[in-house]
Structure 1
């Protein structure tokens, strides 16, 4: 069945319901754009019709739409590639006097989800884009004040408010009439009231209620909108342990949870059952599911993308399994702890900064494979190397490895990782920070061959500690330093490092292995 939110998306501004003032302001902005040439920000809660209004406006004006999801493609290069050129180009029709019909409308969703620090110039690129554009631009945001001052000051503001139940009911009524389904008015009012201003969610609930029925009644809304026969743990068993892909997918349809919530459950529990290559394949499907659920919110709650998310998180994860499993698994509680989400964000941020790529790449491509390679801290040496490379604390290591709460094992890994980082810093410092205090009270650095220029060094009590001279006239400390440097030189020669002085000073992952 075609998703009704897509089938009945407004095609013109006149069909946009519940935000007449915002709709009229958007129309006025478009009709006078050639005079003021300002971009516009449409902001308001999810599901109130912001993106639908932008597309309806483009249809009314005869404008081509160039769409960019700012949260998925938000680096400076991506913004320039997808939106910058379009915003500066004048189309052939426009240059030949074709009027508004020749313009391109640049629509940038999730404009409140761009960050200077982590997205490599994305916010600065958008601000520059707004100032230089030769085409109309619409920014879509849920939280207006999460946008930077620069973005807010560069664009006109139009607020979309929650759609009242009184405005939602006529939309539901029109849909059922077009579908040829009878209804009780009280049933539509119940659906409208239950969705608290979210028109798109109301349409989804209407479709779920009406499926397989010729009449939508109040009783159907109360008891029949979703099949509640399958619980979460039964669903997890079906996907992770028992059912083939097709049956696991059918089970997902019978759970009273959204695909977004099911994704969180499967992502949280899959390390308890899968391991090795199984886990890596499962994370690949979960990454795909995350992309599709993100697309729902990026398109102002276009739920048609959810079916692709469900295909991946249920059917895909089940297909990643090598064999069926029996027995009982202790799945634990819900995966929605705020501390866990905060830890995940910090891990993703650390990965992105260390690797020099976007947060989305870190979250969707890198983190799943780190989790698979270090599942339950095995192998330990690799887990220590990972913790050292990304400078992870105990909670972050627990999250990545799926070890649950911080344990003594995790704590020991973090301690070893810290020591490994310190050793790497010392190795690459080449003795630059080693200091001795000479007999005259001045600081003496180790000379080029590693020997001290003084035969004495200051003790902790402020006095002088004698050093015994060896048979060759060198102090014991000189001999030890010289021997250590000889060993380093031999090691460098064995590894083909002919000139250690040319090392760039950067600690690579190999230093931690």
Structure 2
């Protein structure tokens, strides 16, 4: 799936949202480069458009780009060889005037002896560059005085919400997304000047919602927390070993309970097979430790839960993971939301589960309902969704809540109708439960056989029960039927 921040990156400076002053300064720097031949430092908060502006400038000037990352070129010899050669004059890869734009990202990520002369080498390259060179930095004053003085400074400020909203509106139009105006404004306000994060939030919410509402945005949490958890998930699933993942988890502003929900919902997007099963084993252990916290109010157990969530899941990874993954807030957690209406729906379904399965409301809410939501997400497993609806006698409103599908869609309406038929058939056949009736064909065969043998209704019922169990066993081999008898 394409990352929208890349898909909708501006191709021209004229498309850049906000920072008009910085945009004009960058344009003037490029147009007069032959006169001054200085490098430029674009600095400002993450996500405000610095790198996008550099690439948009290159398109406007018809300059090919050479991209480097200062944090990846940390020794003086590497910097001099790679960056120095890139910044030399030449026409082999240049535009009509032989120019090419050298873009060095994370130029502030160089720290003294750790980089073994890298900062000094970059300064020398900047002074001697025969090509336009742009350095990208988040923290201008983390760079050496010598390097700062050798470049033209261009500051990018946080993008105001009124500039973010039109960008989000444009993406919604291009992607065919329905939205409330207040939803886009809420995304812009929550991201506090970070356009890139706003686009990421829009994409994450649009994945699971058919229409964007302000409430959808509200329950995703604050940007500071979401940004941290997204970075953590990427590192956990793709990069860090167990020890490093545990250290990374210390910097995430989430309780172990919430972190478990995030990891549990997103791990299937990167893991599969044996590694996914192992990851879930560790998450199950974490849930047990969280249960001890709940029972004893001893929060020292949080540590053991966190170790299983971070270290265990990282250790379960097999092989390299690459590419971009669209992570999103836990679907069940988001659906609970903060509105009274959603809480009422949750409690209604939990009560049905509790009454039918003989469990507590708490167990129904915390342990059973989240798994029902995951297994019947968007009604993709239709037979399973019908069976769930029949067993707990749910109407369209509550099927919609559990599955995340629209209440008025044909899909949900057909699910409810099929579930009602299933319940009626089960009542007529005295099958002992709607789920056994859902296996249908073998029970019917048992009834016919009993009738032909002249047996009474009691023996027919016994035959039906045994055949229903056999049907349940054979159903385990069918992915679409898996888990029906577990409800």
TM-score, length-normalised on structure 1?
A: 0.47
State the TM-score, normalizing by the size of structure 2.
Answer: 0.50
Structure of larger gyration radius: 1
